[in-house]
Amino acid sequence: MLPAGTLRSEGLCPLTPEEAAIMLAALGLKRTTRIYLAGARIYGGISRMVALTSLFPNLVTKEDLLSSKEIEPFKNFSSQ
């Protein structure tokens, strides 16, 4: 397995929430844009999301869209 730094320098890692916020802002997205977050836990926890949620407060997750009953079959699948 390659070290994370090597993977990152080769562009093989996803953007961090901070990098995503900068990129979306640079693309001209408005603060009112709804952002749909697909995934599970963010590496580094909720504190890593501060930059993204402060620039784009309309962040929506699958937990926001589905009831607990609807999401139950997908509970063990982070990307579904």
| 6-16 tens-digit pLDDT | 777 887 778 88
Confirm whether 8 is domain-assigned: no
Phi/psi-derived region of residue 11, left when phi > 0, alpha when psi is between -120 and 50, beta in every other case: left
Tens-place pLDDT, residues 24-72: 999 999 999 999 988 767 777 788 889 999 999 999 988 888 898 998 8
> Which domain does 33 fall in, by range?
14-74
pTM tops 0.85, yes or no: no
Provide the 10 A C-beta neighbour count for residue 64. Answer: 9
Q: Is residue 1 part of a domain?
A: no
Please indicate, yes or no, if residue 43 is contained in any of the structural domains.
yes
Question: Is residue 62 within 8 Å of residue 39, measured between CB atoms?
Answer: no
